[in-house]
Amino acid sequence: MDEILIGGLLALMVVTVWGILRTRNLFAVVVLGGIYSFLTATVMVALDAVDVAMTEAAVGAGVSTVLLLGALYLCRSEEARPMHKPWGAMALSATVTLALFHGTVGLPGFNDPQAPIHQHVAPRYLNEMKQEVDVPNVVTAVLASYRGYDTLGETTVVFTAGAGVVALLRRRKRKGKDKA
Amino acid sequence: MKHDLILRVIAKILIPFLLLFAVYVQFHGDFGPGGGFQAGVIIAAAVVFYALIFGLKAAHRMLPESWVESMMALGVILYAGVGVAGIVLGGNYLDYFVLDAHSTVHGQHRGIFWVEVGVATTVSGVMLKIFYMFADRGHLDRQDPAASQESAEL
Amino acid sequence: MNWMQHAPALQVVAPLLAAPLIVLMRRLSWAYAIAVAACALAFFFSIGLWSQVQSTGVIAYAIGNWPPPWGIEYRVDALNAFILCLVSGTGMAVLLFSRSSNAHEVPSEQRYLFYAMFCLCLAGLLGMAITGDAFNIFVFLEISALSTYVLIAMGRQRQSLFAAYQYLILGTIGATFIVIGIGLIYLLTGTLNLVDMGQRLSQVDSMRPVYAAFAFISAGVFLKLALFPFHNWLPNAYTYAPTTVSAFLAATATKVSIYVLLRFYFTVFHLDAITPHLPLSLMLGALAIAAMFAGSATAIFQTDMKRLLAFSSVGQIGYIMLGIALFNASGLTAGLVHLFNHGITKGASFLLLGLVVTRLGGTQMSHLSGLGKTMPWTAFGLLICGLSLIGVPGTAGFISKLYLVRAALDLGLWWVALMVLLSSLLAVAYVWKFVEAAYFRPPPEQLPPSLANVTTWDMRLMALLLTLSTVYFGFDTRFTLGSAQAAAQYLLGAH
Amino acid sequence: MNLAAYFTYIATFVLMFLGLFIVMARGNLIKKLVGLGIFQTSVYFLYLGPAKLVGGTAPILSDAFKVYTNPLPHVLMLTAIVVGVATLALGLALVVRLREAYGSIEEDDILAQDQASAGATEAA
């Protein structure tokens, strides 16, 4: 049952991406991107990743879409017709995809409780966390405590982006542009 | 849109609830899905909503840009500071066990609490700052004398 | 409380904490002071770590006091202690240089943010180099990458924006490849700790995901370190970024990526154990030799000195990779020594070019003509760096080429040694191009409009210091060779 | 090979192929960033798919459940999402600046303008 639901949603996502690929109206692209993010979030709920789903809905569908719309407003542009045939790009992305396909064949499949990820490291988070940290949401415990340093890095990434946008978009005090 | 009465009234009612929801997501993150990132984004969304209805100028008055810029920095400082506090209290970096003298579990709770506050502060600050930056750029681009004067005042 | 005991964490946290402080202060003078203090702390701690590793061996530091593999571990060994010294040392020199050079190259409103970005970039690079956790590498890689994009975009010309955009696209693709590779290994082993990964990976039966993970991580890191033919972002980025940024990136960013490659190859994949089954040495070696020739040959045709040096970097990265591709102790030693020597040589060259930009307004060959007369010391410094890039005795470059040739001959690969010598001839050609412009062409009648007439003492001192060290490490090889040998032995005997 | 056991991987392949293709084949700078986002998203399923256990529940501990989905990939992908939006924000800021400097957000236009100005400086 789960497989059918998730598979159907994933198929819808592929269709959305196909739409993004085909359309040259950038506004439509951005809206399709928002739909894509919401579908992603829904699949994540089906995969029991509720925290991730919430973040994807807020960040992927919300913030990203707003940012894209803002940039689109500032650029006001329609995508030009591609000038060259995309065979090179096609070949490259096909190679990468095939490499990944090659690699995943030996991996544990969907819903395999014997897979290494369910046997090593994660069991401690699920079984001992109650004594060690004692917050019901295991994701919060791992995020903020066990792997809290990653989250510090992640917060710093967000800060870097913020300060970077300030550096790039803060208006010059002088009117004249000192661009070459 | 600035003069639409219905929108303004509804916004006035909604925004406190949005902020309340953000606080819920922030502190309920220990028990259900949620946490600093999501709460930060919701806080930013509430202010963006305010800016859309009442205008950028009003939003700037409510939450000046310099505050927003400080928020970006303060969150990271708080987070990294919790780590340094771990060292000062005799543990390793980001060691929450030592944050409470009596119980390691309480120390963990305390650490997670402050860390999440730091995350929410930075995320909301950054999201807002990025929004302000893009919005300001638009004023300049439009080359509308009234708008550019308005943005000059900001 | 013993602060030195927390050196692994503090040397990353100091610059990481400095960045938000700078944004909070918003004052240029404060920004500079904070950045210098943070950078000095990082340098101090990394020297401390280096000497500690020499005496006690591997230092493990559990962040948050969570034992690995459940928490994130910092792990300092002979290899990354050496890299940390290179990164924080050149970072310090470039930072001290940047105060005056930024005054001419970076718009005034952005200048305090330059220091914030610089600190973040430094923190990211140090974090990548010191961590013992695979996903943590990705997080810090992104910190350094995002700040690098901004630093590049601060250049004076509009081309810098497009260079930053190109790097953003390629860098993100590279980082995502790395995440895919890490994900495959994670699915196979269930762990994210590098050492734990290595141990569990050797017990895995299905080799296909391992090879795929290897391919993805290699391709991702090749993109980041600009190995030919993955180098497309590098020439534009180095050419249009502010000169200090070019110096910092050339000396450190690509070098840390090489370190990450080594870490994955030896600690996780145990490549020296796998290589007999795969023609890896041949594949990597072929790429390296292609890079040596393509980079150096393209450099000859450049008319902008910064661009010339950028392509020369593409070539020099080939030498480092060639040493690694030999997969034995002498080859690795040669590669690591060259990593260090090329880092300081390129750092010195770009800082000297920074002096030229400040004084003459640009780095086109037309700006450089007659440099031997207009700026004799700077021209002489650039000449020394050029000789080091060729590998002339008496410079740091000579030592690394010597060991590279020797390592190849040890394995009986005389044709590889020949390739190294032949490609060095190409280096002679591009260095000659500079010599011709600087010493055999008259200075222009009228000097082009300059950004500032004088270069300040701090700029000159830092450029001098790095140039002198290029010569110094050509004679005294105790630090470079000693550390590289220890690191190579550690990598090969890690299991 | 049991196809049903690999369907999350298959979705990853397709999304990855399309995303990478959009990044490389399209010349519009905004569309490239959208493609980059899709490419990054494809990786989420590589991590999240195998973490799910059917019959399990979201990793929020409670006495009513015994089997939980693996929380570690969730934490990692949270980081990946945030990194993705940070990259997007910076990329868009660059695009806005590029549009102001070049008057276009098409890669070919920008490259042509750069070539023209490079030719001009060489001639000078």
- Chain B CA closest to residue A147: B94
CA dist., res. C67 & res. A71, Å (int): 45
8 A C-beta contact, residue D40 and residue D84: yes
D90 touches chain B (CB under 8 A): no
Query: pLDDT band at residue B142, thresholds of 50, 70 and 90?
Result: very low
CA dist., res. C186 & res. C135, Å (int): 10
Per DSSP, C302 falls in state: -
D89 touches chain B (CB under 8 A): yes
User: Which DSSP helix (H) or strand (E) runs through A85?
Assistant: none
The complex scores an ipTM of: 0.94
Q: Are A148 and B137 a contacting pair at CB < 8 A?
A: no
Cβ neighbours of residue A69 under 8 Å, at least 6 residues apart?
A30
CA dist., res. A98 & res. C122, Å (int): 36
**Residues A89-114 pLDDT 10s:** 899 899 989 988 888 887 887 778 88
A6-25 average pLDDT score = 90
Domain at D3-123, CATH from 1.10.645.10, 3.40.50.1820, 1.10.287.3510, 3.40.50.300: 1.10.287.3510
For residue A127, give the nearest of B91, C70, B35, C61 by alpha carbon: C70
8 A C-beta contact, residue D56 and residue A55: no
Query: pLDDT band at residue C412, thresholds of 50, 70 and 90?
Result: confident
Question: According to the model, what pLDDT value does residue A147 have?
Answer: 92
Cβ neighbours of residue C406 under 8 Å, at least 6 residues apart?
C330, C334
pLDDT tops 90 at residue A76: no
Burial class (CB in 10 A: 0-12, 13-18, 19+), C291: buried
Adjacent-strand bridge partners of D60? A137
For residue A146, give the nearest of D70, C16, C13, B94 by alpha carbon: B94
Question: According to the model, what pLDDT value does residue B151 have?
Answer: 37
Instruction: Please give the single-letter amino acid code of residue C85.
Output: C
CA dist., res. D124 & res. D122, Å (int): 5
Q: Are C23 and B97 a contacting pair at CB < 8 A?
A: no
Domains of chain D, by residue range, sit at: 3-123
pTM score: 0.94
Q: Are D96 and B32 a contacting pair at CB < 8 A?
A: no
Tokens coding B151? 């943005």
C143 neighbourhood in chain A, CB within 8 Å: 153, 156-157, 160
Cβ atoms < 10 Å from Cβ of C360: 23
**Residues C169-217 pLDDT 10s:** 999 999 999 999 999 999 999 999 999 999 888 888 788 888 899 999 9
HSE-up of residue C302 (Cα within 13 Å, Cβ side): 25
A140 touches chain B (CB under 8 A): yes
Among A132, A152, A169, the residue with its CB nearest the CB of B83 is: A152
Query: pLDDT band at residue C453, thresholds of 50, 70 and 90?
Result: low
Question: According to the model, what pLDDT value does residue C402 have?
Answer: 92
8 A C-beta contact, residue A136 and residue C208: no
Against chain D, the chains showing at least 3 CB pairs within 8 Å are A, B, C
8 A C-beta contact, residue C28 and residue C112: yes
Question: According to the model, what pLDDT value does residue C376 have?
Answer: 87
CA dist., res. B82 & res. B114, Å (int): 7
pLDDT tops 60 at residue B141: no
Return the residue in A132, A143, A147, A165 with the most chain C beta carbons within 10 A, the one to mutate for interface testing: A147
pLDDT tops 60 at residue A174: no
Looking only at Cα atoms, what is the longest distance across chain A? 65
